[in-house]
Amino acid sequence: MALTILIAFSLGLLTWTFTEYAMHNWVGHKAKGKNAFSKEHLKHHRLGNYFTPWAGKTLRTVVVLSKIFAITLFIFGTISAAAFTIGFAVGYAWYEYLHWSLHVNPPRHSYGRWARRHHFHHHFENPKMNHGVTTPLWDIIFGTHEAPATIRVPKKIVMPWLIDPVSRTVYGDYVADFKLR
């Protein structure tokens, strides 16, 4: 039983990472502003630190998780459906926290540094690449992974953690990864 729960949870988490990639690439970018998610996502790209308000996200999340649970309940039964849905929800919660944190907090460890470079390459260098925020897995599988070089961040939407407020230059810890344009 414990192995079944672990497998279902892990599959839910993996399914989230695919959903994250699919939403970001196909629904967010390739739709070019023709749906509500795409409009919000493109606004996030234009403004940098803009995030869709939580009220709307919360309602949509409850609806989506309810549907996921109902579908997996029908297919796999109660325990596996609950574990799968919880895995998906944990993946989504991690994504939301990580994505917000990348924009507003300085990196604190190697994963944070990697995630910022990967994500900000997408934001500021090539929006057709690096759609995964939490993992590069699906970018690698679908051929949309690109290793970032030094990332050129526009001065008008630079993240506060990146620059010294007095000199308006990139902090020394981040000079190898970022420069202002």
Three-class secondary structure assignment of 91-140:
HHHHHHHHHHHHHHCCCCCHHHHHHHHHHHHHHHCCCCCCCCCCCCHHHH
Return d(Cα 111, Cα 116) in angstroms, integer.
Answer: 9
CA 178 to chain centroid, in Å, comes to: 20
CA separation (Å) from 7 to 69, 88, 92, 99? 16, 12, 18, 26
To the nearest whole percent, how much of the chain has pLDDT over 90?
87
- pTM assigned to the model: 0.93
To the nearest whole percent, how much of the chain has pLDDT over 70?
100
Q: Using the predicted structure, report yes or no on whether residue 55 has a pLDDT greater than 90.
A: no
Q: Using the predicted structure, report yes or no on whether residue 50 has a pLDDT greater than 90.
A: no
Phi, psi dihedrals of residue 109, rounded to the nearest 5°: -160, 175
Lowest mean pLDDT among 9-13, 31-35, 82-86, 95-99: 31-35
Return d(Cα 60, Cα 68) in angstroms, integer.
Answer: 12
Encoded tokens for 104: 């507003």
121 neighbors 129 (Cβ within 8 angstroms): yes
Encoded tokens for 175: 């000079």
Give me the residues paired with residue 151 across strands: 178
At 49, the pLDDT band (50, 70, 90 cuts) reads: confident
pLDDT of residue 53: 87
- Amino acid at site 181: R
Query: What is the Rg, in whole angstroms, of the alpha carbon atoms belonging to the chain?
Result: 18
pLDDT of residue 47: 85
pLDDT per residue over 148-173, tens digit each?
999 999 999 999 999 999 999 999 99
Q: How many domains does the chain have?
A: 1
Phi, psi dihedrals of residue 163, rounded to the nearest 5°: -125, 150
DSSP characters for 9-54?
HHHHHHHHHHHHHHIIIIIIITTTTSSHHHHHHHHHHHHSS----H
- Full domain range(s) for residue 58: 2-180
